[in-house]
Amino acid sequence: MKNYSGKVLLIVNTASYCGFTPQLGSLQRLYERFKSRGFEVLAFPCNQFGAQEPGNKQEVCSFAAEKYNVSFTIFDKVKVNGKDAVPLFKFLKSQSKGFLTSDVKWNFTKFLVDRSGKVVGRYSPITDPESIAPIIEKLF
């Protein structure tokens, strides 16, 4: 994650076969709007919710590029909850609790991180990424 030091980040657990998958388009528009100012969208495919991300990284990237013209970074598939959760999501959850528990509840949970690495927002799957734009704007 050192490659992203000093940048504003929107970190999202994604899935290709979820009702929220069209948010990939909104995420791409946000990325295009702010990337020149040091903004990154970091997508982490996850198959923990309804087995909605069965593909490998190549399949996920191809789908996102073909269907939503995604050009932001898509990482390897991860686990976001449980004992096998990757350290990044353990950190994000520890810094910004969710409703009732800190666990990620579903695909397309979004974490906004400022330039200093502080988690400044956690947004539910139903939150349209573009609605976060005014908050992102204030972080520059």
Decide: 44 and 78 in contact? Cβ < 8 Å: yes
Q: Which residues are catalytic?
A: 18
Q: How far is CA 82 from CA 9, 68, 79, 90, 95, in A?
A: 23, 30, 8, 9, 16
